[in-house]
């Protein structure tokens, strides 16, 4: 303070006040303005959500990924190339080059009830978000009431200025209320609901991906079963021919009856495997019909064979940092984490003061025509402040519960990310080994076929025993079945890789 009563304001010019206290008044005014500005800025309490960091790795498996898989001189034996960084196409199932598969997937996406339910759940979530957004605006209500009343003029003062004993009272009013979102309660509630809607949006994408993957997997399995059935029928034909040969040799006295009976027993055992394969094929056909939104009895026009499915040669491989932005399940877990973060802010805001502004205006009269005449109108305006003082610790425990739920959502998110990386790693390794299996089974089938043909000729010439023929037939049968399954495994794991990478929905 200076001797003349002036005050020096640091950081700029000087201001001099007289003894009337105008300086203090100015300071109080400035403080009130600052407080009002802070309230109107409506900071939102609680943690602000930040997107989780990307995985700190750039590979999936401990071993380096080879440029391509092994090759084999057989159907579906071509090498597959791994292309790091290549994007996944939106209609990834089309890489298998099957018009029948493309048509069935299109039907499934259009008619499957699971996808339809996921769409409805998303619409519900969006509407709930829109409803929550309404809390950010003032609530306006209109009201009208009419009542027939009798005034006890002999006991109480007249209700009406006219002193009439019997009257009809009409009242109309418009009222408004607005909860100042000082600490962000409404905005955190909207943030949480929007995050839940985002989670449901990614659940829908996950439903699309699961459905298309199931259709492709079922189609591949159908093709594999048809190949195994064809191989079994070919083996049955060979074994029936062997029975006839042995019967002729028995008639010539070159083999014993026990040899004929053993071959017939092998034929019966092979025939017994056929119903099981037919049963599995029927189940896959029923599954495909249901996935396409049909009843099993309606049947399918589409038919799948291994020869009608093309093995994709180029395989995309997304980096882990990109994978977490592609997988619908990871993004849904992130949205759940976001919702849990907003719930912490809601729990904190519930413990802080709530400021509500209210107002009303209207009129009252014994006749409708004079409701808003001079002297019949009224209005009110006010504000209220409420603060919870004691609720037995409930609010504090709710905040702690919200923070625990946030920790849980964070752990669940990390678990989903780890599972996603594991699925990609498993699939990449499976594709390497599938190629090796196809090559090995192709060599085994070729060797078994050559052995069987040579053994059959020797048996016809009488230079080999029947037991050698049985052994050769069994080896060839198993080799053909193994090759068919190996080819199917390679196709199925290729589809699994596209699923593990997220299915390309972001390119749709």
User: Which CATH number is 250's domain given?
Assistant: 1.20.1600.10
Mind listing the pLDDT tens digit for each residue in 407-451?
A: 999 999 999 999 999 999 999 999 999 999 999 999 999 999 999
Q: Is residue 1 part of a domain?
A: no
How many domains are there within the chain? 1
pLDDT confidence tier of residue 16, bands split at 50, 70 and 90? very low
CA 356 to chain centroid: 39
437's enclosing H/E stretch is helix 394-461
Residue of 133 and 164 predicted with greater confidence: 133
Contact 315, 504 (CB under 8 A): no
Residue 218 backbone class (left: φ over 0; alpha: ψ -120 to 50; beta: rest): alpha
Question: Three-state DSSP class for 147?
Answer: strand
Residue 331 and residue 306: Cα distance in Å, rounded? 35
Q: Residues 87-115: what's their mean pLDDT?
A: 96
Does the pLDDT of residue 253 top 70, yes or no?
A: yes
Q: How many CB atoms lie within 10 A of CB 423?
A: 19
What's residue 1's pLDDT? 36
Q: Residues 201-215: what's their mean pLDDT?
A: 97
Contact 318, 88 (CB under 8 A): yes
What's the token pair of residue 430? 């499976």
Place of tokens 């008639």: 251
Does the pLDDT of residue 6 top 60, yes or no?
A: no
- Return the closest-CA partner of residue 503 out of 263, 252, 326: 326
Residue 391 and residue 398: Cα distance in Å, rounded? 11
Contact 152, 13 (CB under 8 A): no
Residues in CB range of 3: below 8 A, 6 or more apart? none
Does the pLDDT of residue 172 top 70, yes or no?
A: yes
Does the pLDDT of residue 362 top 80, yes or no?
A: yes
What's the token pair of residue 175? 């009222």
Q: Is residue 405 part of a domain?
A: yes
What's residue 320's pLDDT? 95
What's residue 23's pLDDT? 40
Does the pLDDT of residue 29 top 70, yes or no?
A: no
What's the token pair of residue 190? 């909207």
pLDDT confidence tier of residue 363, bands split at 50, 70 and 90? very high
Q: Is residue 502 part of a domain?
A: yes
Residue 417 and residue 6: Cα distance in Å, rounded? 66
Does the pLDDT of residue 18 top 50, yes or no?
A: no
Residue 312 and residue 423: Cα distance in Å, rounded? 20
Does the pLDDT of residue 10 top 70, yes or no?
A: no
What's residue 489's pLDDT? 95
Residue 64 and residue 69: Cα distance in Å, rounded? 13
Residue 428 and residue 493: Cα distance in Å, rounded? 8
Residue of 29 and 439 predicted with greater confidence: 439
48's enclosing H/E stretch is none
Place of tokens 């990871």: 330
Residue 265 and residue 239: Cα distance in Å, rounded? 10
389's enclosing H/E stretch is none
What's residue 76's pLDDT? 85
Q: Residues 203-228: what's their mean pLDDT?
A: 96
Domain span at residue 277 reads 81-138+182-352+391-507
Angle between helices 466-500 and 257-291 (to 10 degrees): 10
Residues facing residue 382 across a β-bridge = 358
Residue of 414 and 232 predicted with greater confidence: 414
What's the token pair of residue 243? 């029975």
Contact 107, 293 (CB under 8 A): yes
What's the token pair of residue 75? 């159907």
What's residue 262's pLDDT? 87
pLDDT confidence tier of residue 177, bands split at 50, 70 and 90? very high
Q: Is residue 323 part of a domain?
A: yes
Average pLDDT, the chain: 88
Does the pLDDT of residue 74 top 80, yes or no?
A: yes
Residue 187 and residue 164: Cα distance in Å, rounded? 52
Mind listing the pLDDT tens digit for each residue in 258-317?
A: 888 988 998 999 899 999 999 999 999 999 999 999 999 998 999 999 999 999 999 999
What's residue 456's pLDDT? 86
% residues pLDDT > 70 (the chain): 92
Does the pLDDT of residue 467 top 90, yes or no?
A: no
Residues facing residue 82 across a β-bridge = 315
Does the pLDDT of residue 2 top 70, yes or no?
A: no
Residue 215 and residue 475: Cα distance in Å, rounded? 33
Q: Is residue 47 part of a domain?
A: no
Q: Is residue 424 part of a domain?
A: yes
Question: Three-state DSSP class for 203?
Answer: helix
Question: Is residue 193 classed exposed, middle or buried when 0-12, 13-18 and 19+ CB atoms within 10 A define those classes?
Answer: buried
Question: Three-state DSSP class for 16?
Answer: coil
Question: Three-state DSSP class for 359?
Answer: strand
Q: How far is CA 305 from CA 51, 58, 107, 237, 461, in A?
A: 45, 38, 19, 21, 38
Q: How far apart are the first and last CA of the chain?
A: 72
What's residue 469's pLDDT? 83
Q: Is residue 277 part of a domain?
A: yes
Q: How far is CA 488 from CA 47, 75, 167, 219, 424, in A?
A: 50, 11, 89, 10, 19
pLDDT confidence tier of residue 491, bands split at 50, 70 and 90? very high
What's the token pair of residue 309? 């499915």
Contact 46, 60 (CB under 8 A): no
Q: Residues 28-53: what's their mean pLDDT?
A: 64
Q: Is residue 379 part of a domain?
A: no
Residue 93 and residue 492: Cα distance in Å, rounded? 11
Would you mind telling me the total number of residues written for the chain in this entry?
508
Residue 273 and residue 267: Cα distance in Å, rounded? 10
């Amino acid at each position: 303070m200076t001797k003349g009563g002036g005050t020096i304001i640091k950081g700029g010019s000087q201001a001099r006040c007289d003894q009337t206290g105008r300086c203090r008044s100015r300071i109080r005014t400035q403080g009130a303005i600052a407080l009002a500005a802070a309230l109107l800025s409506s900071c939102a309490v609680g943690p602000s959500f930040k997107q989780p960091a990307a995985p700190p790795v750039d590979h999936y498996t401990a071993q380096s990924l080879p440029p391509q898989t092994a090759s084999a001189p057989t159907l579906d034996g071509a090498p597959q190339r791994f292309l790091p960084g290549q994007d996944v196409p939106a209609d990834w199932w089309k890489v298998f080059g099957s018009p029948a598969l493309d048509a069935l997937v299109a039907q499934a996406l259009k008619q499957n009830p699971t996808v339809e339910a996921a769409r409805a759940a998303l619409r519900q979530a969006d509407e709930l978000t829109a409803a929550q957004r309404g809390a950010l605006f003032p609530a306006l209500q209109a009201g009208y009431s009419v009542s027939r009343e009798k005034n006890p003029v002999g006991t109480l003062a007249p209700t009406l200025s006219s002193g009439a004993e019997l009257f009809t009272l009409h009242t109309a009013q418009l009222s408004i209320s607005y909860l100042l979102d000082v600490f962000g309660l409404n905005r955190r509630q909207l943030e949480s609901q929007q995050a839940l809607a985002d989670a449901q949006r990614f659940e829908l994408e996950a439903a699309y991906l699961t459905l298309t993957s199931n259709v492709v997997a079922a189609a591949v399995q159908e093709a594999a079963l048809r190949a195994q059935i064809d191989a079994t029928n070919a083996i049955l034909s060979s074994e029936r021919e062997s029975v006839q040969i042995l019967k002729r040799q028995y008639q010539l006295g070159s083999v014993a009856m026990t040899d004929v009976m053993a071959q017939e027993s092998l034929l019966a055992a092979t025939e017994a495997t056929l119903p099981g394969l037919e049963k599995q094929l029927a189940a896959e056909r029923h599954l495909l019909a249901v996935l396409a939104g049909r009843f099993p009895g309606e049947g399918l026009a589409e038919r799948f064979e291994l020869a009608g499915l093309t093995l994709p040669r180029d395989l995309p491989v997304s980096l882990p940092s990109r994978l977490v932005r592609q997988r619908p399940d990871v993004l849904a877990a992130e949205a759940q984490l976001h919702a849990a973060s907003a719930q912490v802010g809601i729990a904190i805001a519930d413990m802080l003061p709530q400021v509500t502004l209210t107002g009303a205006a209207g009129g009252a009269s014994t006749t409708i025509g004079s409701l808003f005449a001079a002297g019949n109108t009224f209005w009110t305006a006010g504000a209220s402040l409420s603060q919870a003082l004691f609720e037995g610790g409930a609010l504090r425990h709710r905040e702690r519960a919200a923070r625990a739920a946030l920790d849980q959502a964070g752990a669940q998110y990390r678990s989903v990310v780890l599972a996603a990386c594991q699925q990609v790693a498993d699939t990449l390794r499976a594709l390497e080994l599938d190629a090796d299996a196809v090559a090995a089974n192709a060599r085994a089938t070729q060797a078994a076929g050559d052995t069987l043909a040579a053994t059959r000729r020797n048996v016809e010439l009488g230079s080999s025993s029947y037991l050698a023929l049985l052994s050769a037939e069994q080896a060839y049968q198993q080799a053909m079945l193994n090759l068919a399954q190996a080819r199917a495994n390679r196709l199925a794991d290729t589809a699994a890789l596209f699923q593990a990478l997220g299915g390309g929905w972001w390119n749709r």
